[in-house]
Amino acid sequence: MRIACVGAGPAGLYFSLLMKLWEPANDVTVFERNKEGITQGWGVTMEQKFLALLADYDAESAREITGRSTRWCDQVVCFDSGREVFSGNGKAHGVSRQSFVEILARRARQLGVDVRYEQEIRDQSELPPADLIVAADGVSSMLRRRAEFGTTITEGQNKYVWLGTGKAFDSFHFFFEPTEAGWIWAYAYQHEPAASTFIVECEPRTWAGLGFDKCSPSRLLDRLEGIFAEGLAGRRLWTQFTDDADALWRNFRTVRNERWHHANVVLVGDSAHTAHFSVGLGTQLALQDVMALAAQVQRVGTHTASGLTEALQAYQDQRQAEIRRHATEAERSALWFENMPRYAGLTPRQFATVLHARRAPLLPKLPPRLFCNLHDIRQRSAVLDKLRTLCR
């Protein structure tokens, strides 16, 4: 097969290496608009069991990714001078996005993939002849502009900015801080031995009230370092990516597509779907997309146009079904954070409870304290049931 992948992020690179690994005769080219070594973003997260799955698909790249990963188990919620810890969420791993992409690019080239940088593709007519075109060009995909995909993009209300820091957090942390303009909060997780991702989010009125709509990057960092001084423990925040571009405040965009393929073009990763960063695992979901796509292409074979269509339709059906629950939970999580002040009157323990339960469909329909009381009753009931079982 002649395969063209647009986008040298994790999804495009991993699909390309799988197609060469499983069938060396495939002619696979990856086109990336940025220079080599340039990526935007700090860390990505993956579950322990997903790293084991990566080893089943390509042991060599999985071994290197695992070796570069950091690990944590607990979630820590810091709110109103309180500190609540949730354990037993399972092992999670963080890895630098830069390292992740470099590992996959090196492995793809080792297998014979042609990776071409500084090659911006705005339309499939700019590509050489290909049997399959993979649109792995992200949330602002140029190849997805065709009406045939049935694309909808919904913009969230809150403002967020993706930063880094030299503070190494040993657990996933939520920091909630009151300011004169309203609440502001951060998500922090380690992705290198001496570096962590630090995402800051707030309501639009808080963002404007703190002057973030018109302050310089250096002033932004100074202000945020002051707000989150206790959590950062004296460490600085970083705003510049590897291309020296400053991180920008954004509104999260939720991408949905009715159809994930048209003719010989197929969508993967953020070009196909996005899920709010508060539930994480975006890179993991993108890699699961290309794993499924590669498996369906291999299973069906694509010697004919009908064979390719069958493979792409099977991929679409499989992945749309698999991500449906995650997408719903991501929407609930995003809405919880858009309504975060509703829960600000709770005690630290109660607040941590509703934060942890933010994907529950009943939560926004009940008064917060009533939800917490019902949650406590349910927890006590579960403990009593376990004790009864042990005493039999």
Q: Residue 90 above 90 pLDDT?
A: no
Who contacts 236 (Cβ-Cβ below 8 Å, separation ≥6)? 165, 166, 221, 225
Question: Could you give the residue range(s) of every CATH 3.50.50.60 domain in the chain?
Answer: 2-68+95-154+254-337
- Give the mean pLDDT of 318-324: 97
Q: Model pTM?
A: 0.93
**DSSP characters for 150-180?**
-EEEEE-SSEEEEEEES---SSEEEEEEEET
d(CA 247, CA 233): 22
Q: Tell me the C-alpha distance between 336 and 333, whole Å.
A: 5
Q: Which two tokens stand for residue 250?
A: 């954004």
Please state, in angstroms and rounded to a whole number, the distance separating the CA atoms of residues 70 and 226: 27
- Over residues 347-363, mean pLDDT: 96
Of 35-39, 78-82, 105-109, 302-306, the one with minimum mean pLDDT is 302-306
Mean pLDDT of 67-92: 89
Pairing of strands 132-135, 265-267: parallel
**Which has the higher per-residue pLDDT, 300 or 152?**
152
Q: Which residue has the higher pLDDT, 258 or 384?
A: 258
pLDDT at 57 over 60: yes
The superfamily CATH assigns to domain 2-68+95-154+254-337 is: FAD/NAD(P)-binding domain (3.50.50.60)
What percent of the chain has pLDDT above 70? 95
User: Mind spelling out the 3-state secondary structure of 34-102?
Assistant: CCCCCCCCCEEEEEHHHHHHHHHHCHHHHHHHHHCCEEECCEEEEECCEEEEECCCCCEEEEEHHHHHH
Structure confidence at residue 387 as a pLDDT band (50, 70, 90) = very low
Inter-residue contact 39 to 242 (CB < 8 Å)? yes
Distance CA 140, CA 253 (A): 10
Residue intervals in the chain for CATH 3.30.9.20: 159-238
- pLDDT over 80 (residue 302): no
In this prediction, what percent of the chain has a pLDDT beyond 90?
A: 84
The rounded distance, in Å, linking the Cα atoms of 84 and 140 is 38
- Interacting residues of 290 by C-beta distance below 8 A, sequence separation 6+: 11, 12, 14, 15, 18, 134, 136, 268, 269
Do 247 and 239 form a contact (C-beta atoms < 8 A)?
A: yes
pLDDT surpasses 60 at 33 = yes
Q: Residue 247: what pLDDT?
A: 83
The larger pLDDT score, comparing residue 38 to residue 147, is at 38
Question: Residue 52 corresponds to which tokens in the numbers above?
Answer: 């084991």
The mean predicted confidence, pLDDT, of the chain is 92
The CATH classification number of 159-238 equals 3.30.9.20
Q: What mean pLDDT is predicted for residues 30-57?
A: 92
